[in-house]
């Protein structure tokens, strides 16, 4: 298919006192574009790989690569596989990949100093509901999404049951932290400080990621060539 594959690629980027370093498992070059490949063995691994791939993708852009994307591929099972794409071209005009990366670092430094209301399942649920809803239904759908993620349900684990979440945020209720929901629609990334709210942190961390991600199903035939025999 005219694709050139490279087995591994190392990344390293200095940001103040911090050095970001990592390894992309595989890079494919096709039609002048570099695509980072992340192969995962399970749905849980795939969710973790999305965040890892996102940070590596932003780091690669900040280090000078421009025409680059990422693909997270789940291992085929019963002739089906999950496929997620990350494309930095989907960021808004008011955002840049480097600004998104710097904001992620701000969130990381903030979380090292104190317990902040930044949650993976509940934050992504809020960001996804906000991006997918319109008009008057938005507030209701956002509240329902965070309630389901935080408190769980018959087929959904409760994020509030996580032992670290319980230790740091016992008694906290995200449905009572949606008073500044409109910040999720801000075209610009928010500045983060000690007072950053649940919605502000969700806007900073999860909204750009979900805006740039698309998911699709695929068949074993489509991805078999990616997996070593």
Looking at residue 15, its pLDDT comes to 83
Rounded to whole angstroms, what are the CA distances from 155 to 33, 41, 64, 147, 158?
A: 39, 21, 43, 14, 10
Model pLDDT, residue 45? 65
Each residue's pLDDT tens digit, 165-188: 999 999 999 999 999 999 999 999
Q: What is the mean pLDDT of the chain?
A: 87
Q: What is the pLDDT of residue 224?
A: 54
From residue 133, give the alpha-carbon distance in Å to each of 137, 166, 178: 7, 30, 15
- What value does the mean pLDDT take over residues 127-140? 93
The pTM for the full model equals 0.88
Q: Region 203-217: what's the mean pLDDT?
A: 91
- Min mean pLDDT across 61-65, 188-192, 197-201, 207-211 is at 61-65
Give Rg (Cα) of the chain.
Answer: 18
Residue pair 55/38 in contact by the 8 Å Cβ criterion:
no
11 strand-pairing partners: 22
């Amino acid at each position: 298919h005219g694709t050139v594959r490279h087995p591994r690629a190392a990344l390293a980027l200095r940001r103040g006192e911090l050095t970001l370093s990592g390894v992309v498992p595989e890079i494919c070059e096709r039609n002048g574009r570099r695509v980072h490949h992340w192969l995962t063995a399970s749905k849980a691994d795939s969710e973790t790989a999305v965040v890892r791939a996102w940070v590596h993708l932003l780091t690669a852009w900040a280090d000078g690569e421009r025409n680059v994307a990422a693909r997270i591929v789940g291992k085929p099972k019963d002739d089906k596989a999950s496929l997620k794409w990350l494309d930095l071209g989907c960021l808004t005009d008011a955002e840049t990949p480097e600004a998104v990366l710097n904001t992620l670092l701000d969130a990381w430094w903030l979380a090292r100093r104190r317990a902040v209301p930044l949650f993976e399942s509940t934050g992504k649920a809020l960001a996804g509901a906000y991006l997918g809803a319109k008009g008057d239904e938005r507030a209701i759908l956002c509240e329902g999404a965070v309630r389901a993620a935080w408190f769980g349900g018959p087929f959904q684990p409760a994020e509030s049951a996580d032992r670290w979440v319980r230790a740091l945020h016992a008694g906290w209720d995200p449905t009572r932290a949606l008073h500044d929901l409109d910040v999720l629609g801000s075209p610009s990334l928010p500045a983060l400080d000690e007072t950053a709210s649940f919605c502000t942190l969700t806007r900073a961390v999860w909204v750009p990621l979900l805006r740039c991600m698309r998911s699709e199903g695929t068949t074993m035939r489509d991805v078999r060539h990616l997996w070593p025999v």
